[in-house]
Amino acid sequence: MASHTDTDTDTISFFFDPGCPWTWITSRWFVDAMSRSGHEVIWRAFSLTLINAGNEIPEQFREGMRASHRALRVVESLTAESRHTDAGAFYTEYGTRAFVDAQAPGDDLLAAAGLAAGVSDALERANDVANEALIQAAFDEIRPLVGSDVGSPSLRLDSTGNAIFGPIVNPAPHGDSADAILGAVVTLLEVPEFFELKRSRTAGPDFT
């Protein structure tokens, strides 16, 4: 039998916060595998700011969270216009600078990512609080599907409406390994009874 990634076309929504290093690693697996899968991808917000609402955030994380939340305003506004490729390109440029190049979060990072991704026209939306409604709507869409004790990244197979937190990969696999994981994830998302898989982390983020 052919794998789902060989024969079937479906949309997978990737709900994420661009400030999360584990999400960034998973997204590199996802982009690689999706490039060969035939599946469509939609990039959606899963804001760590909203997840942590009411919690005391340590000072060293606050600027990063503010910057990533502003980046999500750009992502969701692009998605609302069906500019899914642009949204993915913007995240790639943002994450490369944030995690691979270790650039400090802020306006310079946003501007550089937007210019490199060709979405400079959308950067003003980072400061537009009107886009908060889009972020909240995405949050309200995914949270009931994955629960209140998980977060970014979460994947939803749009044909079934089933969603899971993760997968978390470290480092990001490519090629055949990436395809195998995506095929397994899609299979699990097609089974409504599937609930949870888990393994404890044994190492820090590997951005290679």
Beta bridge partners of 128: none
- What CATH number is associated with residue 148? 3.40.30.10
Query: What's residue 54's pLDDT?
Result: 84
Comparing CA positions, the residue from 24, 65, 9 lying closest to residue 207 is: 24
User: Could you identify the residue written with the tokens 């009411």?
Assistant: 54
50 within domain boundaries? yes
27 within domain boundaries? yes
- Structural domain count of the chain: 1
Phi and psi based region of residue 43 (left: phi greater than 0; alpha: psi -120 to 50; beta: remaining)? beta
Instruction: Kindly report the number of other CB atoms within 10 A of residue 102's CB atom.
Output: 8
User: Could you identify the residue written with the tokens 């913007």?
Assistant: 90
Q: Is 190 helix (H, G, I), strand (E, B) or coil?
A: coil
Q: pLDDT truncated to tens, each residue of the chain (208 aa)?
A: 233 333 346 899 999 999 999 999 999 999 999 999 989 999 999 999 999 888 888 888 888 899 999 999 999 999 999 999 999 999 999 999 999 999 999 999 999 999 999 999 999 999 998 889 999 999 999 999 999 999 999 999 999 999 999 999 999 999 999 999 999 999 999 999 998 888 888 899 999 8
Q: Which domain holds residue 159?
A: 4-189
204 within domain boundaries? no
198 within domain boundaries? no
Q: Is 176 exposed, middle or buried (0-12, 13-18, 19+ CB in 10 A)?
A: exposed
